[in-house]
Amino acid sequence: MSVTENNPEQHFPPDRENLWTLFLIFLRLGLTSFGGPVAHLGYFREEFVARRQWLSERAFTDLVALCQFLPGPASSQVGIAVGILRRGYVGALVCWAGFTLPSAILLIFFALGLSGHADMLPLAALHGLKVVAVAVVAQAVWGMARNICTDLSRVIIMLIAACTCLAFSGTLSQIAVIVLSAVTGLALFPAAPSAAPDALPIGVTARSGLIWLGIFVLLLIGLPILSRCFNSPALSHFEAFFRVGSLVFGGGHVVLPLLHAEVVPSGLVGNDTFLAGYGAAQAIPGPLFTFAAFLGASMTVGPSGVAGGLLCLLAIFAPSFLLVAGSISCWNTLRRNPRMQGALAGVNAAVVGMLLAALFHPVWTSAIHAASDFALALAALLALVCWRFPPWLVVVLSALLEMAAEKFF
């Protein structure tokens, strides 16, 4: 039984921090957390389990498990959950803002610079950003496959998902892959019941959780209808990014194919601009979902600029707020269900396959045009995997090398 069930009035720990302290803690994490969602969770564990002892090891692991099962950016969702545990809904907003705004602001400025000063970044540097994206996504595929696809069944699910996404592009095929993989996981990976987990000090009642989940479902169904009824570009952008944030399992780099399908074929963002922004997103700390802010600021159909960036940023993260607030109240019960672990195993294997498909198209096909491109991508991959260079440094070096190669060769 959770703390809330024992004493509904005691929603939060008695030593809860003020909102400004929470903001500064997450702002520091947002400025220093390089390396993607897995690295972010390592930073979070060091901060909240080892250093501040806000959570036990088991409680932190259970929060991570919940956020990995939900669609959306897992590391940002863990931050939102920590905010709810410390200071409720306002705490969740404060923690999200501190962790997210640094990278979002940088990407919006980068988009404004590209649109207002097309020559601010030489074409060779832009191509270097596209090439390094190949190495970054390849590293993600390898790391995820090594940790997730640990047996033949998972490898087969991964390969089928990759082939399906390559053969049938578009959002619907990706949703179908996720659903079918979850069903397959239920059949193939029955999990054994685990020991009773620690109770979390959750300040959200089951009734409130159902309300938040109801709002999520209402928006997911209603926004496409409203978008078709009203000829509003702002509403269309919000609906598209809200849907992407609602359907991306695995977070991080997996958002790439869904966002590409939404903005590039329709001409809202050029393919070169898309990949340049994606490469730039590797050079900054914080969640990769802030790439939505770059896309919103780069739209060829308004709203764009700062307003478009903020609109798309809020839209892609809104499902995370609703899903975490809606599910955290019942997680103490749900996390004891072994069948959920089987479904998650199937979904995770499919996520690796989707990322493998994205590695080929559009990342590889748009960036690797010559032997020199392949050599640069291979060098970037070695720097990331073998020499443990931070991603931001690899991005900067790749852009500089591409510029030097164009100038001297």
State pLDDT tens for residues 227-278: 888 889 999 999 999 999 998 865 666 787 888 888 988 889 988 888 888 8
pLDDT, position 237: 94
Query: Which residues, 6+ apart, have CB-to-CB distance to 63 below 8 Å?
Result: 55, 78, 81, 82, 200
What gap in Å lies between CA 288 and CA 285, rounded to an integer? Answer: 8
Backbone CA torsion sign across 129, 131, 132, 133? positive
Q: What is the largest CA-CA distance in the chain?
A: 71
DSSP characters for 106-153? HHHHHHHHHHH-TTSS-HHHHHHHHHHHHHHHHHHHHHHHHHH--SHH
pLDDT, position 116: 53
Residues comprising the chain, all counted: 409
pLDDT, position 95: 96
138: tokens are 């390849």
What gap in Å lies between CA 139 and CA 174, rounded to an integer? Answer: 22
What gap in Å lies between CA 245 and CA 315, rounded to an integer? Answer: 8
What gap in Å lies between CA 224 and CA 324, rounded to an integer? Answer: 22
Among the listed residues 73, 71, 65, the one whose alpha carbon sits nearest the alpha carbon of residue 96: 73
pLDDT, position 8: 38
Residue 175 burial (CB count, 10 A): 14
| pTM listed for this prediction | 0.70
Cβ–Cβ < 8 Å for 321, 190? no
pLDDT, position 113: 83
What is the distance between the terminal CA atoms of the chain, rounded to a whole angstrom? 68
For the chain, which residues score pLDDT lower than 50? 1-14, 118, 194-195
Cβ–Cβ < 8 Å for 197, 336? yes
What gap in Å lies between CA 165 and CA 169, rounded to an integer? Answer: 6
Instruction: Return the half-sphere exposure (C-beta side, CA atoms, 13 A cut-off) of residue 35.
Output: 16
